[in-house]
Structures are given as structure tokens and as C-alpha cells.
């Protein structure tokens, strides 16, 4: 019987969607040097077709695409993929950032930016710890807070028995809070629990993801059942009451 060749580990797949071809090629070069299999697309429709075809681990997505813009691409992408998404924008206004993140982007960068920093952000996303906040392995039994059930190994959240469609980052934020219900997490502590010690970016990113988790759990600023703000300190998990 012929010897079986060893299975080589598959390369991470990255998709760069940007109509600035020179910038897209530059990003692709850096990603390829970092070991990624890279695919390029220069408009929204082409990007969505590529995403369906290659099932990327991470998408670098320009906000200002012609035709279907980055926000709509991200919205449609989230209907069939849970890949990490880093949004690129030439406009630094906060509203653009919030719009991009509201449809499921995990992070954002404002042009011009350092490709090395982009690589660092991508690496931070892909090596995110899949453990509880105290460093132990995830428990086999779901965490339960009132009507909320959080299955850490299965990465599934149920509210009143119905699934809650969280993105990867939203799940990780909620799981970090729920794994240590006695703790109040400052932005920095939550960043370290979810993104890791070496993450570099805007700490207010945490607030945006917390807001989206609340919205999907049916919480409001006045009725904080599951994710509560401790004024001047940070966030903690609620009791669901």
C-alpha cells in the first residue's frame, strides 16, 4: 500500500475588497508574506461572489465602494459568513464607524494606515482566545443568566429558547462578561479578555459591540437586564431580572 502523504495545514484565506487597486495589491502583498492565501475584488458584487466561493477567514472591506458600498456588502456577507471583517474608511467621522460596525464589522481602520498595523489587527482577531476570562477551558454546561443561555464550546446563544444571531466579536464580548459574572470589566480589561494584551486600536470599539449585544438581547439604556453599565467603571453581566 502506498504511503499516505501527510496533510499540510490549510492556509488562512483573506479577501480584500477595495476599488483602489494599488492599495488592494499592497495589502495583498503584506498578507501573502504573512502566509495568507489572498483573493482580491474591486467592487461589492465581485466581493460577495468571491466570499461565497472561497469562504474567507478574514475580509478587509472598503467602506466607499462603487455601486454596493461596504456597509451593504457587510450586511449581505453576514447573512452567510461569520468571517472577521475589518472595515476601511477614508472618512474619520464617528458616524461612518458606527454604521460600519452596526452591520457586523469586527474592527475598522481609517485611511491612510500602516499595512503593518493592519496585519497586527488581523493577527489579533485570528488568535483571539477561545477560553473563559479566567484562562480556564470553557465549561461543557451552558452559562445561564435568567432566560439567557450561552453555550461556550458551541458558540451559541439562546434567549427564551430562541437563537440570538451574534457576530464572533459580539459573542466573545458576551462570553467574557458571562464567564466572570462577579467582575466589572473596564474597557481595557474587556479588550484584554477578548482581543488580547497586544491589541492596538480605539478602545471605544468596546462600547459599540456592547451596544449591539444589548440590542440583540432586547436591552435598552433604561432596561439593562443582561449587560449593565457601572457608571465610571465599565460593564458587568446582569441577572436577567
User: Given this model, what pLDDT does residue 194 score?
Assistant: 86
- Look at residues 10, 122, 137, 120 and name the one whose alpha carbon lies nearest to residue 61: 122
Which residues are bridge partners to 197 per DSSP?
none
Locate all alpha helices (DSSP H) within the chain, ordered by sequence: 21-33, 44-54, 70-77, 94-102, 115-126, 168-179, 187-194, 205-216
Give me the residues of the chain with pLDDT under 70, please: 1-10, 94-95, 128-140, 240-241
Q: Where in the chain is the domain with CATH 1.10.10.10?
A: 143-237
> Which residues touch 69 (CB under 8 Å, ≥6 apart)?
44, 63
239, three cell numbers: 441577572
Beta strands in 76-142, from DSSP E residues, in sequence order: 84-89, 107-110
The correct CATH number of 143-237 out of 3.40.190.290, 1.10.1740.10, 1.10.10.10, 3.40.920.10 is 1.10.10.10
Share of the chain above pLDDT 90, in %: 42
The CATH number assigned to the domain with range 13-126 reads 3.40.50.2300
Which residues are bridge partners to 109 per DSSP?
88
Q: Where in the chain is the domain with CATH 3.40.50.2300?
A: 13-126
Amino acid at each position: 500500500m502506498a504511503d499516505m502523504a501527510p496533510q499540510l495545514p490549510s492556509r488562512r484565506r483573506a479577501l480584500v475588497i477595495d476599488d483602489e487597486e494599488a492599495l488592494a495589491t499592497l495589502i495583498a502583498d503584506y498578507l501573502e508574506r504573512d502566509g495568507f492565501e489572498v483573493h482580491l475584488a474591486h467592487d461589492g458584487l465581485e466581493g460577495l461572489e468571491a466570499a461565497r466561493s472561497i469562504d474567507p477567514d478574514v475580509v478587509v472591506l472598503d467602506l466607499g465602494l462603487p455601486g454596493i458600498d461596504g456597509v451593504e456588502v457587510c450586511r449581505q456577507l453576514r447573512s452567510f459568513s461569520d468571517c472577521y471583517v475589518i472595515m476601511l474608511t477614508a472618512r474619520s467621522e464617528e458616524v461612518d464607524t458606527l454604521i460600519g460596525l452596526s452591520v457586523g464589522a469586527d474592527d475598522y481602520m481609517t485611511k491612510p494606515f500602516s499595512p503593518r498595523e493592519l496585519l497586527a489587527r488581523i493577527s489579533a482577531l485570528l488568535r483571539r482566545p477561545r477560553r473563559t476570562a479566567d484562562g480556564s477551558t470553557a465549561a461543557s454546561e451552558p452559562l445561564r443568566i435568567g432566560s439567557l443561555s450561552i453555550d461556550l464550546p458551541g458558540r451559541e446563544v439562546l434567549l427564551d429558547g430562541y437563537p440570538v444571531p451574534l457576530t464572533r466579536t459580539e459573542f466573545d464580548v458576551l462570553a467574557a462578561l458571562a464567564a466572570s459574572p462577579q467582575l466589572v470589566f473596564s474597557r481595557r480589561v474587556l479588550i484584554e479578555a477578548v482581543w488580547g494584551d497586544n491589541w492596538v486600536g480605539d478602545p471605544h470599539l468596546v462600547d459599540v459591540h456592547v451596544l449591539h449585544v444589548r440590542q440583540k438581547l432586547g436591552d435598552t439604556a433604561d432596561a439593562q437586564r443582561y449587560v449593565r453599565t457601572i457608571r465610571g467603571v465599565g460593564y458587568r453581566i446582569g441577572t436577567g431580572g
